[in-house]
Amino acid sequence: MSHHTIDYIQRIRDSGHRMTHQRQIVLDAVCSFNRHATAAEILKRVHEIAPAINQATVYRTLNFLTEIHLLFSGTIDGQTIYEIATPTPHHHLICRKCGHIAALPDQCFADLIQQIKTEYQFLPEIDHWAITGLCADCQ
């Protein structure tokens, strides 16, 4: 498990909400992927761990955890994905053949962002991008 339980409990309480078994298990499930995961994947993982948790609760919890910024939520190929929020944004290179995922540091976008700012007077908000393509092994 890649998160420190106590921090998250505090974050939830500080936001004026309660810590519950269900929220703990959903958090554990999200972290267990060590990558972003779709709602369906998380739902499946949760049910493997605790079949009694209702699916409505999982959806509600994912929305809730995203609202208080414990999770980051984005969109890839029409699917909503979730992952543990990190202090600095990072992005992903996803191989469309083998599914391999690599991280891409935020800094790679610095020049592009600068160009968009100066040439287009547009302030881009690039929080989490997934770039699909072919990894080294699959080209």
Site for a copy of itself in 51-90 (CB under 8 A): 75-80
Q: How far apart are CA 81 and CA 102, in angstroms?
A: 16
Single residue of 4, 87, 111, 118 touching a copy of itself by CB under 8 A:
111
- Contact characters 19-48, a copy of itself, x per CB under 8 A: ------------------------------
54 binds, among DNA, a copy of itself, none (CB under 5 to 8 A by kind): DNA
9: tokens are 């409990």
Question: Strands 71-76 and 79-84, how do they pair?
Answer: antiparallel
Question: Which span (3-11, 27-35, 53-61, 131-139) binds a copy of itself, by CB under 8 A?
Answer: 131-139
Give DSSP secondary structure letters for 49-80.
Answer: H-TTS-HHHHHHHHHHHHHTTSEEEEEETTEE
Number of CB atoms found within 10 A of residue 31's CB? 16
Q: Is 7 helix (H, G, I), strand (E, B) or coil?
A: helix
x/- mask, DNA, residues 69-108, rule CB under 7 A, reads ----------xx----------------------------
C-beta of 59: minimal distance to a copy of itself in Å?
14
Is residue 138 at the binding interface for DNA, with CB under 7 A as the rule?
Answer: no
Q: How far is CA 85 from the centre of its chain?
A: 6
Structure tokens, 31:
């972290």
Contacts with DNA by CB under 7 A lie at 9, 13, 17-23, 38-40, 43, 52-57, 59-61, 63-64, 79-80
